Amino acid sequence: MFKHFGIVGAGTMGSGIAQAAALSGVDVILYDINDTVLRQALERVKQDFRKGVNRGKLTQEQTTEAFGRIHPRTKLSDLKHCELVVEAVIEDLMVKKDLFRHLETDTKPTTILATNTSSLSVTAIASVLRHPERAVGLHFFNPAHIMKLVEVIKGQQTSPEVVQQTVDFAKQIGKTPVVAKDTPGFIVNRVARPFYGEALRLLGENVATVEQIDRIVKDGAGFPMGPFELMDLIGIDINFAVTQSMYEQYFGEPRYRPHPIQKRMVEAGQIGRKSGQGFYKYEETK
């Protein structure tokens, strides 16, 4: 059983992970270089806990105890007693590599060093470690305190014991782990590509309209959202960037080739709900 868990980066993802872990009874050291970001993270957790109590999903006692288990820190060396540390910082390979280098010296030799990356190679991040076998991917989904799934990613040099312990940890904090090899997109981001890619091709070939495709997919197979509604929600720019990254990482595999429709929409600034216009119009957000 894991007792001490460290998180580096107190953004939306980091605070969500902290919330889930603290609720399951694990002590969390939540590190961020920026004290203001830490305070904001704690406020977010507090608000979410309050919502949980108001909806009757959590008790006041549970949330008070869980909140007390989250320890905000601004010194990396405070993570030294953690059995597992996950980083949830910006998706930048150099930043993550640099962080892992520091974590290796600031933690115990047995501490598992995990990355929450969704798009970078776990193997590349671990390459800076003297002991890359202790590095693993632990990919949470947003919102991390609600989504049950975590992808546990085996880097090229990750030891089987570390994979197993990370799976056990994910279960301990109430998540459902799935194990994947360190390949671009892991499972979810890769298998989901045709959902968007084929829909864009159908639209490009004028087989059906945006509205028709969304209706057929939802009412025909029970998807909660159609591909165009979902792209609008995710952000067409984000979806385009992920597809482009997959295409490049697979050295031009045609299955992941981005579609010009998406590129034009990004160029036009029609990137979905957040801009008020994507495949649909969102008057209220303008």
Q: What string of DSSP letters covers 223-266?
A: -SS-HHHHHHHH-HHHHHHHHHHHHHHTTS-GGG---HHHHHHH
Q: Is residue 54 annotated as part of the catalytic site, yes or no?
A: no
Contact 105, 77 (CB under 8 A): no
- Candidates 53, 95, 216, 238; binder of other proteins (CB under 8 A) is 216
Give 33's DSSP letter: S
**From the list 213, 236, 265, 271, which residue makes contact with other proteins (rule: CB under 8 A)?**
213
Residue with Cβ nearer other proteins (6 or 197): 197
Match 């929600």 to its residue by tokens. Answer: 233
The catalytically annotated residue of 15, 104, 116, 118 is: 118
Bridge partners (DSSP) of residue 5 are 28, 84
Instruction: Point out which residues pair with 137 in neighbouring strands.
Output: 115, 153
Is 253 an active-site residue? no
The answer, yes or no, to whether the previous bond of 143 is cis (omega within 30 of 0) is: yes
Catalytic (active site) residue 139: yes
Stretch that binds other proteins, among 17-25, 27-35, 109-117, 220-228 (CB under 8 A): 220-228
DSSP characters over 38-62: HHHHHHHHHHHHHHHHHTTSS-HHH
- State the residue for tokens 């067409």: 236
**Which position among 42, 208, 233, 238 is part of the footprint of other proteins (CB under 8 A)?**
208
Window 115-144: contact mask with other proteins (x via CB under 8 A): --------------------------x---
Query: Which residue among the candidates 151, 239, 245, 275 is catalytic per the annotation?
Result: 151
H-helix or E-strand spanning residue 199 = helix 193-204
139, 145, 229, 239: the active-site residue? 139
For residue 171, state whether it binds other proteins (rule: CB under 8 A).
no
34 is catalytic: no
Chosen residue from 42, 192, 233, 261 binding other proteins by CB under 8 A: 192
Nearer to other proteins, 134 or 193 (CB): 193
Contact 134, 112 (CB under 8 A): yes
The piece of 75-83, 100-108, 200-208, 273-281 that touches other proteins (CB under 8 A) is: 200-208
> Could you say whether residue 113 binds other proteins (CB under 8 A)?
no
What is the rounded distance in angstroms from the CA atom of residue 46 to the CA atom of residue 147?
18
Tokens of 153: 């990613």
12-20, 73-81, 105-113, 217-225 -> range binding other proteins (CB under 8 A):
217-225
CB 31 within 8 A of CB 76: yes
Residue ranges in contact with other proteins by CB under 8 A: 141, 147-149, 151, 176, 178-181, 183, 186-188, 190-195, 197-199, 202, 205-208, 212-213, 215-217, 219-225, 227, 254-255, 257
**What are the catalytic residues?**
118, 139, 151, 189
